[in-house]
Structure 1
Amino acid sequence: MIFCDSVKDNKCLDHNRSLELICFDCNTLLCKQCISNHSDHTSTHVDDIKESVTSDSYFSYINRKLSDSSSQNSNSSSFSSGGSNSNNNSQTNLHSICDNSSQTKNIGKRNRSKFNNVNISINEMFDNLKNMSFIFHQLQKTEDEISNHFREIHEYLVIEEHRLKKPIIKDKDKLIIEIDILVKQLVSMNKIIETINNSNNKINSSQSNSSSQNSSRSTQNSYNSQQNDDSNYTDTTNQYQIETIIQTIQQSLDLNDFITRNINSIFYVDLRHNNKIDKSTLDISILHSIIKFNNTFKSMESSHQQLQTKSLKRLKLDSKKLQTWKTSINKLFQLVNVSPDLYVFDGNYIFSVDRSNRLSLISIPTGNNQVHKIHSIRGDINDAWSYNSTVCVGKYIYSFGGAGLLSSNKYQRFSLESMSIDISGTMTSIKPTTFISACYDGNKYIYLLDGFGKENTEVYRYDIETMKFECYSTLFLYGGCHELSFFYQNQMYTVQTTGIRKIDPFTKSCIELPRLDNTQFTKYISMESTAVCEDGKGNIYTHSGSKFIVLNLNTNEIRELTPAKDLLMVDHRMIYTSNNYIYVLQGLFFNYRYSIDNDKWESILQDDKSERYCRGLALITI
């Protein structure tokens, strides 16, 4: 025996015979004489491996492609004595397989014997790749979903931020205008004062010590006149910006400090021209400056006073609520580990229970190339889930009571998120019952109508939030089993073999339907089997015996339709779907789909082995 290190190792070192077999347990090549030492191991002859590959239709197709390619390449060269090129290629590929498998000899017996059946193994590999790529795709969808949710929250926060900041920004803009006006007033007034000081200085210029008693501002302006010579120019553009001025106002101790900080910018006064004019001219200039000042700023005083009366705005923050909100966000988004099987379902399905208490989802095709498919679901259910006691509420499916001769006061809830029964309890204050009709009001209650085998109908109500039952009312309504109950335009309707009734959930009373002749309706009802569904638009479809009709609650018009053939003569449930189809699922060979648009039935799910009649159905979206 020998480990396959290269294609050249074609002889057994122990027996000098051709290596024709492989031991999958030892991952070793064998000759026919070596096989006796591996009698209790799994081994295969190379011819059997090649036969298993070439016998498969897919590999036959690949081999034909390879052969065609080899034939084209062989036109310019002769075949080798060992056989055709295609055979040599096959041998080379098998040796490559051996090389690769030798690296995994310690992984485990199952992996070591992958090539015991090449066809099955390579299909399993591709199935694993498909599953992994599917999981990757779903993880990418989850990542995108997280991004979308937080983007939505971010956009909401940005809007709220702008809403809060808008009045502040508006007041700030007004303040900037007012501050700019006041600064200009101050600058103009300071210029007038400096001009007056300069005039006084000229009068006292004859006194030798007068210069030392000048105000500091005049000295600074004199110094400024020299410093602002063109040869010593510095850029003071930024000092004129209103934001910079506001900042220096905040930093200044008093008016003198503020003027000093801005002496080279807004408070710069060039008095050199004033030194060249006489006193009378300078006095007239001062008076004109005062008049100009009054004309410019008098109209702005009122708006300035109005702005000062406005109150400041401060952010009031409830720290506790903010922390609660952060905690809520943290709890709102959670990553949970789920089985990849849960991601298989996406779209519209019919939830179905069979008579062996097995759960399944039946896909509803949305395109011409799609087919109906049954997906089995694991779940422990009671002997309940009758055709009229099963109702869907959001991501949950409920069933109440028993079915057939088996009475029960149990109820269960199936979660579409966990794909399992998450509630299994007792209907408190309710006696064991069977064929109880359930309908959801679209708000928070599921109403239960119990009339099978009773003179009157007991009405119960289940709160989906508190998960509590209550005895709601008693209707003096004889008619046996309620085949279907549902809400339409805030009123509850029930269909029995004796007719259709409307029940007001607020007054707890039965209301006679105007213009509806139940006598005419019951002519189409058979006591042998009845199935009912409604489309949410006021149309009730009833298939009973060999009759199939639709009754419109708005017009009370009854129209006959084409009935299905070969249905089992038992009560069951029909399901209306939004694409104008009605489904009848009795299981075995009795599954049908009816086209409302074409008034035509077709057989579906002909390979269904389950018995589904008398059991629960519900239309769901995942």
Structure 2
Amino acid sequence: MTITCLNHKKTSKFICYQCNSLMCSRCISIHNKEHPDHSDKWEHIDDIKDSLSTLKLDDIIDTTNTTTNNDISNDSTNSNNNSISQINNKLKSLWESLRSSASRYQRLSTTENEIKQHFEQLHQYLIREEHKLQRDIINDKHTITNQIDNNILNLKYIVNIIMIFNKLNINDNDNNNNKVNTDNKSMINSNNTDNICDDQSIISDKASLYSTTTIMESIRSNSSLQSFINHNNQTLFNEYLDLFNIEELLKQHSNDSTSLLLDIIHKYNNQFNKSTTITDNNNLTLSSYKLSIKQPDFNQLNSIIEQSIKLDNIESTESINTTTNNNDNKQSYIFITHQLKGSTHQTTIRLKS
């Protein structure tokens, strides 16, 4: 399809880049008279084809950062721009803009990272101060956790001894007519009727139910030892728990319940020697703390930060070469950091490209 001028019915062979109009030979003459400032903005299609046929992309380089000597050669090259297609000039302009934008973006990223590193020092300082204050408290909490774990294990053994004693009394034919200690039975069996079915199997051991955090919550929520045991009768104090292997011990003691009871108490004492058992908080080398918090003066803090870092925005007269707006201005920055302590300082300056 041939593009024809509607006014003169002639083939259009010219294009004006300024007003983006296609024109014939007569139109271009009229256009030059009406728009003399467009005289270097139009091209003939033959000139465009010649320029494209000899186009070498390797010759399109960024010359914005070359030395003065190179600028002289560039001036001589630019003097021949009239014979170079506007497409060539556009390619060169686009490439220089891309190079400039990429370099500037890299410099901005470098400055951004320096700001981040500066405030990272402040973050690390605050974290160190936080950990310094928390260190003794964390150590004391760890000591208390060990104490609770040890005392819970101790308590489990004692409760297990009571369970064994009750079972031995029930199963002892010689003592069928004796009344079982109702207080001990109450401590172990209270609420079991409601919570345990006849065909109940041992509840699976779940880590969360045995965690020290869960145990401490149960201790705080129960005011008496009886309620604490009842609350944990499916886990810590499960009635099926046999810490002493009673069946084997009964064989060893020829089913003598009295001898067996004495033996398990002896085994308990061997495992939980008084010298290694912590039962009194007063025996712990723990400190008492009084925390005083004063709201920091953020105005003073802001002043300190502003003295340690500064970013000045400087307007530049150099325009950014873009395809959308050639009148946009670059923004340049002067970035300065000072160490918070000491007299030394580091200064980094970021200027326009």
Smaller-chain TM-score bracket: 0.5 to 0.7
1:299 matched residue in structure 2: 275
2:2 pairs with one of 8, 19, 23: 8
Q: Do the aligned partners of 1:21 and 1:46 also contact (CA within 8 Å) in 2? A: yes
SS at match of 2:111: helix
Describe the superposition over 1:279-335 as per-residue Cα deviations: whole angstroms up to 9, x where unpaired.
993233333344444443211247965653522446543322578647865896676
User: What amino acid sits opposite 1:137 in the alignment?
Assistant: Q
1:319 matched residue in structure 2: 295
CA shift in 2, pair 1:322/1:223, >3 Å = farther
2:138 pairs with one of 154, 165, 169: 169
CA-based RMSD of the aligned residues comes to 5.1
2:223 pairs with one of 241, 246, 253: 253
**C-alpha separation in 2, matches of 1:237 and 1:25:** 79
Describe the superposition over 1:265-290 as per-residue Cα deviations: whole angstroms up to 9, x where unpaired.
3334569969x899993233333344
Shift in Å, 1:260: 1.0
SS at match of 1:263: coil
1:282 pairs with one of 257, 271, 279: 257
Q: Do the aligned partners of 2:150 and 2:277 also contact (CA within 8 Å) in 1? A: no
**C-alpha separation in 1, matches of 2:43 and 2:198:** 102
CA shift in 2, pair 1:165/1:326, >3 Å = farther
Q: Do the aligned partners of 2:13 and 2:24 also contact (CA within 8 Å) in 1? A: yes
**C-alpha separation in 1, matches of 2:317 and 2:117:** 24
1:63 matched residue in structure 2: 54
Higher helix proportion, which one?
2
**C-alpha separation in 2, matches of 1:163 and 1:127:** 54
**C-alpha separation in 1, matches of 2:227 and 2:268:** 23
SS at match of 2:274: helix
Describe the superposition over 1:324-354 as per-residue Cα deviations: whole angstroms up to 9, x where unpaired.
6478658966765334689xxxxxxxxxxxx
SS at match of 1:417: strand
Matched, 1:267 2:237: yes
SS at match of 1:311: coil
Describe the superposition over 1:437-465 as per-residue Cα deviations: whole angstroms up to 9, x where unpaired.
xxxxxx79xxxxxxxxxxxxxxxxxxxxx
Matched, 1:338 2:314: yes
User: What amino acid sits opposite 1:63 in the alignment?
Assistant: T
Aligned pairs for 1:380-459 within 5 A: 417=334
Describe the superposition over 1:368-387 as per-residue Cα deviations: whole angstroms up to 9, x where unpaired.
xxxxxxxxxxxxxxxxxxxx
Q: Name the % identity.
A: 24
2:286 matched residue in structure 1: 310
1:180 matched residue in structure 2: 149
Shift in Å, 1:254: 1.0
**C-alpha separation in 2, matches of 1:621 and 1:259:** 68
1:149 matched residue in structure 2: 118
Higher strand proportion, which one?
1
1:135 matched residue in structure 2: 104
User: What amino acid sits opposite 2:334 in the alignment?
Assistant: E
> Where do 5+ consecutive residues of structure 1 fail to align?
1-6, 67-113, 343-415, 419-442, 445-619
Shift in Å, 1:63: 0.5
Aligned length: 286
2:187 matched residue in structure 1: 217
Q: Do the aligned partners of 1:19 and 1:30 also contact (CA within 8 Å) in 2? A: yes
CA shift in 2, pair 1:21/1:179, >3 Å = closer
Q: Do the aligned partners of 2:5 and 2:24 also contact (CA within 8 Å) in 1? A: yes
User: What amino acid sits opposite 2:54 in the alignment?
Assistant: N
CA shift in 2, pair 1:146/1:180, >3 Å = same
| TM-score, with length taken from structure 1 | 0.36
Q: Do the aligned partners of 1:194 and 1:218 also contact (CA within 8 Å) in 2? A: yes
User: What amino acid sits opposite 2:156 in the alignment?
Assistant: V
CA shift in 2, pair 1:292/1:221, >3 Å = farther
CA shift in 2, pair 1:327/1:306, >3 Å = farther
2:21 matched residue in structure 1: 28
**C-alpha separation in 1, matches of 2:284 and 2:154:** 17
**C-alpha separation in 2, matches of 1:304 and 1:267:** 22
1:206 pairs with one of 162, 167, 177: 177
1:39 pairs with one of 19, 33, 41: 33
Q: Do the aligned partners of 2:156 and 2:237 also contact (CA within 8 Å) in 1? A: yes
SS at match of 2:144: helix
CA shift in 2, pair 1:339/1:286, >3 Å = same
> Where do 5+ consecutive residues of structure 2 fail to align?
58-81, 319-332, 336-342
User: What amino acid sits opposite 2:213 in the alignment?
Assistant: E
Shift in Å, 1:205: 3.9
**C-alpha separation in 1, matches of 2:116 and 2:159:** 60
Specify which structure has the bigger relative contact order, considering alpha-carbon pairs within 8 angstroms and separated by 6 or more residues.
2
